Amino acid sequence: MMRPRVLSLTLWLALVALSTLIVARARYSADLSAFLPRSPSATQQLLVQQLQDGLASRLILIGIEGADGVTRAQASRALAATLRAGPGFVSVSNGEAASQDKDRQFVFEHRYQLSAAVTPERFTVEGLRAAIADNLELMASPAGLSAKPLFVSDPTGETLQVIEQFEGAAQPRREQGVWSSGDGARALLIAQTRAAGSDTDGQAQAIALIRAAFAASHSPTAAAPSASAALPPRPTPAPAPLQLLLTGPAVFSVDARATIEHEAVRLSLLSTTLIVTLLLLVYRSLPTLLSGLLPVASGALAGVAAVALGFGVVHGITLGFGVTLIGESVDYSIYLFVQGQRARAGSADDSTRRALWRTIGLGVLTSICGFASLLPSSFPGLAQLGLFSISGLIAAAAVTRLVLPQLPLTPRVANLTPLGSGAARLIGRARLPFSLAAALALACALLLFHDRDRLWNRDLSALSPVPAAAQALDASMRSDLGAPDIGNLVVVNADSEQAALQLSEALGARLDALVSQQVIAGYDSAARFLPSQQTQAARLASLPAEETLRARLAPAAASLALRPDALAAFVQQVASARRAAPITRADLAGTSFALGADALLWHRDGAWHALLPLRANASAAGIAGAGDIDIGRVRAALAPLAPGQVLVMNIKHELDALYGSYLAEAVHLSLAGLAAIVLLLLIALRSAARAARIIAPLLLAVLVVGAGFTLSGTRLTILHLIGMLLIVAVGSNYALFFDRRAADRDRSALPLTLASLLIANACTVIGFGVLAFARVPVLSALGATVAPGTLLALLFAALLAPRRLMASP
């Protein structure tokens, strides 16, 4: 007897030590990637990449509210200056004149590389005459006098031409010289972090830098006017203090991580406290309680270790889900201790104990079948939950079976027979006739079928841990900054930067045709910020030599009454432009062109990608418009160009498809899990009727929960579906105890069986019930499904159990 005890305890301690080591050294991540798919289609991959690592993920939008416009503008300038001086940000834009002047200067200096109007024809006698006449007309306009300095350098109007190429992009409103919201009440800035979007720690540091810079420049002493003592006290109330608002993907990631971490800790503590309190009512000694929790702790440790080994990184959300494991694995020690009461009372023999373990073992296996179906999920979060639960359950069951009995412990358990007998009598009275159960199932099924079109929430954001208020703030700051809701995109894949730019230019020519046909209102392209070297070279080559230009300019100027020497500056600047090199990405540094080019052109893993967002005609359907593009016509127009490299996509459609494929996958996985459980029961019980009796209450519970959600207006997400699978996986543990054959063996065991099931179920309901109050939607959806579902599963299993089983002994 000594040897197996030593062996099992040693083995257990060794495994605990090993797991602890792995857990301590594991990498933990709490960003949003748990909610992003692993292996979507190529198009979707691009989307996901952009979400995770694209320029957009590195932009933090900053708002400053409160006080008055002048103070906000000062705060905006001070914040921008501080952040620009530090190493944390690539760029900080706030609409200041300084940066605007820089852009204008850049456009002016590089007008002959950037202007699409620069062609050989433009510089013939007739071309020059027409272009100059056009710009002289501007001179006659009220703009005249101030347009003059530009005119003498650029009489063909290339600077204005370039500016007009960007015309479609909406500009944020300016107040006191800096960007502000549409209502003028909030100053706005855009900061581009040096840290990658997927580097949550780096993003958290960047956010901390912004907060610190803001706090430092607006400490109460700094804000107080120096001459305040000399002024008489003001009767007006003091203006509201300045407030800092931050939004953007990075802010969401950092906040989500904080929320998930906070929730995981808070909920685990809460449910542990509740469960321990409940167990203290049952276990009447601390050693009994502690040893009862031993399987749970071992299971959690083994679960995290398995995830760390299997995935390399543990998602915070997995730990959040892990709360659920407490609810289930604590059951095993309850069964062991409570039912062990009888053994010690001498009313049970070895065969009863073996029967108990057979039932528990089958329960563990059904749960494993359920969780195993999560393993292939595209959601890393769900796959981790699957592995965590499987390893956790196996460890918990093994510790209960092999370690607990070896401990020098006499469990002290409250007398639960009265509770069990009472429950048995209650159930004996309140039977659920099979016909009624069938009618209930049918009614729920009909309700679900009737509402099938609005059963599912098809919006991916339903899974997002970002609160609706934060999403609304983000949307409002984004629209104030003129970032359009991108509805349709043309995506270019190429081998090199130049190939991507050339293809963008070729696409641009066709899109220009679609603009004039009014299929689209406009589009953006990286090639506007950074034309391909080839295009730039062609433009520069169309500039005539100095003598030629002078000769052609003379007749053109004469016919327009221009003095011969008026355009000397122009001739000189064209001459130096001819010698200039094409601009490269590096030349854009320090201008807002850099941001524009990076947003629309990037490379990753050796491939270059360019985006051409399309703008819908506003006239087509008011101002909204994202969906109003005839995407078929766009596809047809672009089809002849590099078919493998050009994709036209509607973001909404792609996201819907992405989520649709998630949902379809989850449905398939859940059905597979259900099938595995049914198969397992058929094999273990060798009777279709018995298997059906076990499955029936579980399905009924699932249908009632589903109908409940529909009736309460909650649309189901993938997590609800997974929750339903868990109802079956966990509920099968209960239902197995009501199996005729198992119960028939020893009917005197019934009251204690019922009591231990009640307590086990209470623990599960607590574990998941607490989860239902999480602020992370994936957690709360799971909790809200499983908590009522398992309660109903136990209830239906008891109510549907064979009548004679419930007859009080």
Partner 1 sequence: MKARLAPAAALITLSLGAIAPPVLCADADPELDSLMALLAQRRHGEADFSEKKYLSMLRQPLESSGVLIYDAPAHLEQRTDRPRPQSVVLDQGIVTMQIGQRRRVLRLADYPELAPLIDSIRATLAGDRAALERVFELGFSGTLAHWQLRLEPREARLAATLKRIDMRGEGDAVREVQVQQSDGDRSVMSITPRE
Q: Which of 5, 102, 104, 578 binds partner 1 (CB under 8 A)?
A: 104
Confirm or reject binding of residue 165 to partner 1 (CB under 8 A). Answer: no
Q: Which of 164, 349, 495, 547 binds partner 1 (CB under 8 A)?
A: 164
Residue 507: CB minimum distance to partner 1, A: 24
Residue 138: CB minimum distance to partner 1, A: 6
Q: For residue 69, give every residue at least 6 positions away whose Cβ sits within 8 Å of its Cβ, in sequence order, or none.
A: 175, 176, 180, 184
Q: Which of 150, 223, 437, 448 binds partner 1 (CB under 8 A)?
A: 150
Q: Which of 52, 124, 176, 542 binds partner 1 (CB under 8 A)?
A: 176
Query: What is the sign of the dihedral through the CA atoms of 370, 376, 382 and 388?
Result: positive
Q: At what angle do helices 718-737 and 688-711 cross, to 10 degrees?
A: 140
Q: Which of 120, 144, 239, 241 binds partner 1 (CB under 8 A)?
A: 144
Confirm or reject binding of residue 171 to partner 1 (CB under 8 A). Answer: yes
Instruction: Mark 508-547 with x for binding to partner 1 (rule: CB under 8 A) and - for no binding.
Output: ----------------------------------------
CA atoms of 324 and 473, how far apart (whole Å): 33
The H or E element containing residue 186 is strand 186-193
Can you read off the two tokens belonging to residue 630?
A: 């005839």
Q: Is 145 exposed, middle or buried (0-12, 13-18, 19+ CB in 10 A)?
A: exposed
Residues numbered 707 to 746 that lie near partner 1 (CB under 8 A) are: none
List beta partners, residue 578. Answer: none
Please compute, for residue 585, the number of CA atoms within 13 A of its CA located in the half-sphere on the CB side. 13
How many residues sit in the footprint of partner 1 (CB under 8 A)?
34
Which of residues 570 and 659 has its CB atom nearest to partner 1 in the complex?
Answer: 570
Confirm or reject binding of residue 141 to partner 1 (CB under 8 A). Answer: yes
Q: Which of 84, 173, 194, 510 binds partner 1 (CB under 8 A)?
A: 173
Task: Considering only CA atoms, give the Rg of the chain.
Answer: 35
Confirm or reject binding of residue 140 to partner 1 (CB under 8 A). Answer: yes
Instruction: Mark 541-580 with x for binding to partner 1 (rule: CB under 8 A) and - for no binding.
Output: --------------------xxx--xx-------------
For the chain, what is the largest distance between any 2 Cα atoms, rounded to a whole number of angstroms?
121
Residue 107: CB minimum distance to partner 1, A: 9
Confirm or reject binding of residue 128 to partner 1 (CB under 8 A). Answer: no
Q: For residue 730, give every residue at least 6 positions away whose Cβ sits within 8 Å of its Cβ, in sequence order, or none.
A: 327, 328, 367, 370, 764, 786, 790, 793
What is the CB neighbour count within 10 angstroms for residue 4? 11
Confirm or reject binding of residue 623 to partner 1 (CB under 8 A). Answer: no
- Strand ranges in 84-168 using DSSP code E only, listed in sequence order: 89-93
Q: For residue 489, give every residue at least 6 positions away whose Cβ sits within 8 Å of its Cβ, in sequence order, or none.
A: 611, 612, 613, 614, 648, 649, 650, 651
Which of residues 115 and 271 has its CB atom nearest to partner 1 in the complex?
Answer: 115
Q: Which of 26, 51, 130, 163 binds partner 1 (CB under 8 A)?
A: 163
Residue 144: CB minimum distance to partner 1, A: 5
Residue 780: CB minimum distance to partner 1, A: 44
Which of residues 98 and 621 has its CB atom nearest to partner 1 in the complex?
Answer: 98
Confirm or reject binding of residue 160 to partner 1 (CB under 8 A). Answer: yes
Scanning 25-33, 139-147, 654-662, 724-732 for contacts with partner 1 by CB under 8 A, the matching segment is 139-147
Residue 163: CB minimum distance to partner 1, A: 6
Confirm or reject binding of residue 125 to partner 1 (CB under 8 A). Answer: no
Confirm or reject binding of residue 183 to partner 1 (CB under 8 A). Answer: no
Residue type, 587: D
Alpha carbon 769 to its chain's center: 24
Name the region of 172 (left: φ>0; alpha: ψ -120 to 50; beta: rest).
beta
Contact 289, 6 (CB under 8 A): no
| Cα–Cα nearest to 213, from 379, 352, 59, 76 | 76
Residue type, 28: Y
Contacting residues toward partner 1, per CB under 8 A: 97, 104, 134, 136-148, 150-152, 160, 163-164, 167, 171, 173-177, 561-563, 566-567
